């Protein structure tokens, strides 16, 4: 086992005749080097890679805007190797996919759906109604958007959980029309479990198209795919950049980058469980980040061994190993308080607290997409069925953003109903403020209402 800049040197005992190359994971002590490495991990999709991808995304979006369905078919053939004609999947196919699920999978999907629904139903915001000091009525009213576009990624894995995590809050919000897009597989069809989850969640309109071109279709509309009001759902770098490019034409949930987990652990944490949770994140993508901050030298030494052991025979070993070697990190910290400080600087998407007393530590945390407290709360339960949404801010954006929610699919409108008494009491101040800004007609619109010669009804 090779450990770069080790806090505690360790070599795993592996049979050289059967093992892959020794796993290398960066291990540092708390300090500026660790902080700098965390910053580099947070910015791992920046620089020239992002600039080159952004230019390609702009070209794709423009082609979709100009050519509509023809562009979707051509681009899908180019990038996915299939021509998804027709684009829409019949509703009957969704029903067949659900009926084709085995009983164990159906029960798991129903359990997840029920828990996610129960949690999100409690998120509905209440309308606000206030009566002012002069009898004026003020308020805020929530209403759903008319159409929501749900992006469900494919490629390296299928994500029926993402269907539920996007469709459920949209339906709870009351969105009239849900439009789901998801990439086709090599046979030209999306994963059947994804289609089954769509049926369960009440999605009836599904199109087999993915990538930046699917985002363009949702934003601009094509002959087959309607333009939507908000786009939600995670994707790769091209999907994220496409969402960024169309923001303003449509709303988006967030700019989700590659996934990440940060584990804070003390001497009470089991190295096999820590390793399992780091690998659970790393297996998503070669750009996934898996980070351990620990106060235990022994744990820092044991976790790399456990990682190597669990990678043996792993079905996604190549992806997982690359993520660990490129974006894995172990930092030995002086205290849990300093570990919490480093975590806040990184602002992780997922934060696990594998410590003896997680609640006080959770109270110290300011920035995290989701916090998993204690040894019985692996991040995987949040991915699938805990209840809170698994679409979370990444790459440090947890400093100012939160999880996808029911409010993602709602917009609020202010309501103002002044009466004569309220206008008479406040109107002179409005006139003064308008004149201070040089806006004559603003002032005049109030002054005329206050004039005895003009008395509007009410």
Give the up-direction half-sphere exposure of residue 35: CA atoms within 13 A in the CB hemisphere.
9
For residue 42, give the H/E element and its range: helix 32-42
Give the up-direction half-sphere exposure of residue 131: CA atoms within 13 A in the CB hemisphere.
3
Residues 188-226, buried b or exposed e (16+ Cβ, 10 A)?
A: ebbbbbbbbbbbbbebbbbbbbbbbbbbbbbbbbbeebe
Whether residue 349 lies in the annotated active site = yes
Q: Of 232, 177, 237, 228, whose CA–CA distance to 202 is shortest?
A: 177
Structural contact between residues 127 and 141, judged by C-beta atoms closer than 8 angstroms: yes
Distance, C-alpha 226 to centroid of its chain: 23
SS3 (DSSP) at 321: helix
In Å, how far are 23, 60, 300, 324 from 13, measured between CA atoms? 12, 49, 16, 19
Whether residue 356 lies in the annotated active site = no
Considering the candidates 260, 349, 352, 379, report the single residue annotated as catalytic. 349
In this structure, how many other beta carbons lie within 10 angstroms of the beta carbon of residue 44?
Answer: 17
SS3 (DSSP) at 53: helix
Q: Of 200, 204, 190, whose CA–CA distance to 153 is shortest?
A: 190
Distance, C-alpha 376 to centroid of its chain: 23
Q: Of 365, 364, 361, 348, whose CA–CA distance to 278 is shortest?
A: 348
The tokens for 108 are 């798991």
Considering the candidates 350, 352, 367, 390, report the single residue annotated as catalytic. 350
Q: Percentage helix, strand, coil, to 5, in the chain?
A: 45, 15, 35
Q: Which residue's entry shows tokens 């792993």? A: 314
Q: Of 376, 383, 380, whose CA–CA distance to 358 is shortest?
A: 376
Q: Of 26, 17, 90, whose CA–CA distance to 324 is shortest?
A: 26
> CA 5 to CA 300: how far, in whole Å?
12
Region for residue 438 given its phi and psi (left: phi exceeds 0; alpha: psi -120 to 50; beta: otherwise): left
The tokens for 95 are 């029903």
> CA 178 to CA 454: how far, in whole Å?
49
Point out the residues that are catalytic: 349-350
């Amino acid at each position: 086992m090779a450990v770069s800049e080790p806090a505690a040197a360790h070599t795993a005992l592996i049979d050289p005749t059967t093992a892959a190359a020794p796993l290398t994971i960066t291990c540092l002590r708390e300090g500026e080097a660790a902080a700098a490495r965390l910053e580099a991990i947070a910015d791992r999709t920046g620089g020239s890679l992002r600039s080159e991808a952004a230019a390609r995304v702009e070209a794709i979006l423009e082609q979709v805007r100009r050519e509509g369905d023809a562009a979707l078919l051509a681009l899908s053939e180019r990038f996915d190797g299939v021509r998804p004609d027709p684009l829409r999947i019949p509703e009957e196919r969704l029903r067949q996919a659900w009926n084709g699920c085995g009983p164990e999978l159906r029960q798991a999907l129903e359990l997840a759906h029920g828990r996610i629904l129960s949690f999100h139903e409690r998120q509905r915001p209440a309308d606000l109604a206030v009566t002012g000091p002069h009898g004026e009525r003020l308020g805020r009213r929530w209403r759903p958007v008319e159409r929501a576009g749900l992006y469900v990624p494919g490629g390296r894995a299928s994500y029926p959980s993402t269907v539920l995590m996007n469709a459920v809050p949209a339906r709870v919000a009351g969105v009239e029309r849900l439009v789901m897009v998801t990439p086709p597989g090599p046979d030209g069809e999306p994963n059947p479990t994804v289609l089954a989850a769509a049926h369960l969640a009440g999605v009836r309109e599904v199109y087999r198209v993915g990538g930046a071109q699917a985002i363009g279709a949702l934003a601009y509309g094509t002959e087959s795919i309607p333009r939507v009001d908000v786009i939600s759902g995670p994707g790769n770098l091209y999907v994220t950049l496409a969402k960024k490019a169309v923001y303003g034409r449509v709303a988006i949930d967030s700019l989700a980058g590659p996934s990440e987990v940060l584990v804070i652990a003390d001497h009470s944490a089991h190295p096999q469980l820590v390793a399992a949770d780091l690998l659970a994140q790393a297996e998503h993508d070669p750009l996934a980040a898996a980070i351990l901050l620990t106060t235990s030298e022994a744990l820092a030494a044991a976790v790399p061994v456990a990682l190597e052991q669990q990678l043996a025979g792993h079905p996604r070993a190549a992806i997982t190993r690359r993520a660990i070697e490129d974006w894995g990190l172990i930092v030995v910290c002086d205290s849990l308080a300093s570990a919490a400080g480093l975590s806040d600087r990184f602002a992780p998407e997922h934060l696990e607290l594998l410590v003896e007393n997680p609640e006080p530590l959770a109270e110290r945390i300011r920035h995290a997409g989701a916090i998993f407290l204690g040894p019985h709360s692996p991040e995987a339960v949040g991915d699938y069925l805990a209840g809170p949404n698994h679409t979370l801010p990444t790459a440090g954006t947890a400093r100012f953003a939160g999880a996808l929610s029911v409010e993602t699919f709602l917009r609020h409108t202010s309501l103002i109903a002044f009466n004569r008494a309220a206008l008479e009491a406040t109107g002179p101040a409005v006139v003064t403020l308008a004149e201070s800004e040089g806006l004559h007609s603003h002032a005049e619109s109030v002054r005329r209402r206050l004039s005895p010669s003009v008395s509007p009804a009410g």
